[in-house]
Amino acid sequence: MPDPIRAAAGRPIRVGLFATCLVNLIRPRVGFATAKLLEDAGCTVEVPQQTCCGQPAFNSGDRRTARELAARAIETFEEYDYVVLPSGSCAGQVIVHYPELFEGDAAWEPRAKALAAKTFELTVFLSDVLKVIPIARFDGAVTYHDSCSGLRELGIHAQPRKLLGNVEGLRFVEMKDPDVCCGFGGTFCVKYPDISNKIVEKKTANIAASGATTLLAGDLGCLMNMAGKLSREGKEVRVRHIAEVLAGMGEEPAIGEPER
Amino acid sequence: MTQEVRSRQFNETAQKALADTSLQKALSRFEQGFISRRKAAVEKLPEYDALRDSARDLKDHILAHLDLYLEAYEKNVIASGGHVHWAATAEEANEIIYGICKRLNAKTVAKGKSMISEETGLNAYLEARGLHPVETDLGEYIIQLRGETPSHLISPALHVTKEQVEADFRRAHSALPPERNLDEPTSLLAEARGMLREKFLNVDVGITGANFLIAETGSSVIVTNEGNGDLTQTLAKAHIVISSIEKVVPTREDATLFLRLLARSASGSELSAYTTFSTGARRHDDPDGPREYHVVLLDNGRSNILGGKFQEMLRCIRCSACMNHCPVFHAVGGHAYGWVYPGPIGAVLTPALAGIEKTAKLPNASTFCGRCEEVCPVRIPLPKLMRNWREREFERHLQPAVARYGLALWAAFAKRPALYRAATSLAMKFLRLFGGKGRFRALPLAGGWTKHRDFPSPQGQTFQALWKKRSGAR
């Protein structure tokens, strides 16, 4: 595993930004916020031509497609010192499941493991690898939802709270059951829309009861699910990816708000 | 005659469950209790995670040598004066049990809680032959009165509200004074106890399940919170234990490891209220106990799971923690799963025992939130095993055509980065044209999403396109 200090001694750390499908398609500003945070910390950020990490195929039982997409991602990103994703679930796919997908494959398993070892979810990378605290200001009461894959596959819980704790003007309030699923579940929410709805209803009730005016999380899928439900219910909570607030982009339109 | 598998109808039964206000009321009451009690119990036990590792390793060891431990167990049951009957199928198990009842000319059969007997459909089998098995666990007694099946492993009547129980008791116990007060749960409990006590005294055959079978002594172990298991087996002429083969553990000490994990994971207790070890029939100088002791060891498909991709499922000790922490179970309850085992264990075990063709919906009914694996006392990787089933389904084209073609179309783009970039750019620009308000209340092909929630409109250009522009401008 590359040592950031040593890498930084000779030249800036080169980070490959794996933006994820949803950020690429729906909310590019999360990609820019991520890039800004990494650049502010002294990294060089590159965005190579990329598609999907393969998680939807993997979770739908299409292992062959999952392996093909994983191999492509390995080829694309293995040249960087680090790979950073603004998503716990896509990062979990690379870190936990790529080595699993190539288990016993003499050619690919070592490459999958090598990539997994230098791949990080954004808040973990900032907090635990670079050990930086972004300087930002955000006024208001904020609550944070722990997305399941990030929480349970990668153990992300303290890092986002630590980073948010340093944002000036931000008042953090914990909702009830922040670690309980929001009902998104990738294709689950369209395969079982009514069960998913029942689950997200409980989540939005907890969000509203927390008194927070802004909801943050580290995964755009969950954020879109919760934002969509809050907006349908007419609950006045603005929803953003944590990177936006940390990068000082908290004044831009929230998820589901018209572009100005 | 086994319990019918109705998992094909998962979508319909789940839909009904969501609309059932009394079920939803019962589910919302149950949700928090188990979770907070388990959490408190685990926090008081610093070695909890180390115990889980030991339990996982021990189970793996047992499963690797299952034949040896079962043979040792059989030898020691016989040595202690009991009988062992091997049943490959549910039908065989039912026949064996009925045979014993018939030979003893039994009229009344009392039953302790046993999910294995649910698997074999034992009650219906015996009733069809003129016997009247009486469930003695309070929850099981309630659902027997209602003609239902358990909806949870340790809380079988979880789906029933107190008001419904009161109505059932008034209907079933018609000899009791109608003006009696049944407002309190304790009065319901007292009434059930009174009714059951009478049945215990006249029981011919007592049937119980087993939480563990101990190879070194030939003992069977059951845990209950009402003591009904003890009465069921002690007062009967014959005690029949029905157990599946993977319940065997090597020693008494090993059993205590699992007992410590089981009670904490299940109900948050340090131990269940009653833990009963049964070894053989009544001896000469015993004051009480059954005159005959039988064990029916059921395979029912388990030996096919051994050595395969789903073997880890056989570690399960049936504590229910997985379903107690499952958001999908919280939403729809246990009956929606359509067979004996609900929740995450059902999503893995039911396809393994009943075949994936009939049960393909179950492994898909999960958000993969991973909470089940997080709380499993024997560390069964439930999401991984559900994903293994999804792979089998994919290989056999068992998934709905829409999902299959949708995935194939998406994969075709994702494998061609240049095409992906062009197509996604175009699609997002197009969506943006109509999403000026920031969100969609309805969207073609996304009805499942927009039925319940708005769809946030995309910014317009893709990140990759915008990044390229930024880089070019520098």
Asked whether residue A252 is domain-assigned, the answer is no
State how far residue A90 is from chain B, nearest Cα, in angstroms. Answer: 13
Report which of B129, B125, B145 is spatially closest to residue B137, judged by C-alpha positions: B145
A 173-192 residues inside an 8 A Cβ radius of B: 180-181, 183-192
Residues A118 and A142 both lie in one domain: no
Q: Which of the listed residues B247, B278, B303 is the one where a domain comes to its end?
A: B303
Q: Which of the listed residues A90, A113, A128 is the one where a domain comes to its end?
A: A128
What pLDDT, on the 0 to 100 scale, is given for residue B433? Answer: 81
Residue A2: pLDDT over 70: no
Residues A114 and A176 both lie in one domain: no
Question: Residue A27: what are its φ and ψ, rounded to 5°?
Answer: -140, 75
A60 part of contact set with chain B, CB < 8 Å: yes
| Residue B453 to residue A31, Cβ atoms within 8 A | no
What pLDDT, on the 0 to 100 scale, is given for residue A20? Answer: 96
Residue A78 structure tokens: 């293995």
Asked whether residue B36 is domain-assigned, the answer is no
- The pTM for the full model equals 0.95
Residue B264 structure tokens: 């904490």
Residues A233 and A140 both lie in one domain: yes
Residues A117 and A175 both lie in one domain: no
Range of B458's domain?
A: 418-473
Q: Which of the listed residues A110, A128, A146 is the one where a domain comes to its end?
A: A128
What does the longest C-alpha to C-alpha distance in chain A come to?
Answer: 55
Reported as a pLDDT band with limits 50, 70 and 90, residue A9 is low
Residues B108 and B237 both lie in one domain: yes
Q: How many domains does chain B have?
A: 2
What pLDDT, on the 0 to 100 scale, is given for residue A29? Answer: 97
Asked whether residue B144 is domain-assigned, the answer is yes
B324 part of contact set with chain A, CB < 8 Å: no
d(CA B8, CA A231): 34
CA A82: distance to chain centroid? Answer: 15
H helix and E strand count, chain A: 15, 8
B397 part of contact set with chain A, CB < 8 Å: no
Reported as a pLDDT band with limits 50, 70 and 90, residue A1 is very low
d(CA B411, CA A233): 34
Per-residue pLDDT of chain B (474 residues; tens, 9 = 90+): 477 899 999 999 999 999 999 999 999 988 888 999 999 999 999 999 999 999 999 999 999 999 999 999 999 999 999 999 999 999 999 999 999 999 999 988 999 999 999 999 999 999 999 999 999 999 999 999 999 999 999 999 999 999 999 999 999 999 999 999 999 989 999 999 999 888 888 889 999 999 999 999 999 999 998 888 888 888 899 999 999 999 999 999 999 999 999 999 999 999 989 999 999 999 999 988 999 999 999 999 999 999 999 999 999 999 999 999 999 999 999 999 999 999 999 999 999 999 999 999 999 999 999 999 999 999 999 999 999 999 999 999 888 887 888 888 888 888 998 888 888 888 888 888 887 788 888 877 788 899 999 999 999 899 999 999 988 766
State how far residue A44 is from chain B, nearest Cα, in angstroms. Answer: 13
Residue A7: pLDDT over 70: no
d(CA A211, CA A142): 9
**Can you tell me which residue has the tokens 């998406």?**
B410
Output B4 or A219, whichever has higher pLDDT.
Answer: A219
**pLDDT mean over A166-176:** 98
What pLDDT, on the 0 to 100 scale, is given for residue A3? Answer: 53
Residue A104: Cβ within 10 Å count: 6
B411 closest CB neighbour out of A50, A65, A232 = A65
| Residue A149 to residue B467, Cβ atoms within 8 A | no
Task: Look up the ipTM and state it.
Answer: 0.95
List the single residue in B with minimal CA-CA distance to A185: B367
Asked whether residue B330 is domain-assigned, the answer is no
Residues A80 and A194 both lie in one domain: no
A14-17 and A44-46 strand pairing: parallel
Q: What is the CATH number of the domain that holds A124?
A: 3.40.50
Q: Which of the listed residues A80, A108, A128 is the one where a domain comes to its end?
A: A128
A137 part of contact set with chain B, CB < 8 Å: no
Residues A164 and A243: beta-carbon distance below 8 Å = no
Q: What is the DSSP letter of B306?
A: T
Asked whether residue A21 is domain-assigned, the answer is yes
CA separation, residue B107 to residues A56, B85, B132, B237 (Å): 57, 22, 7, 11
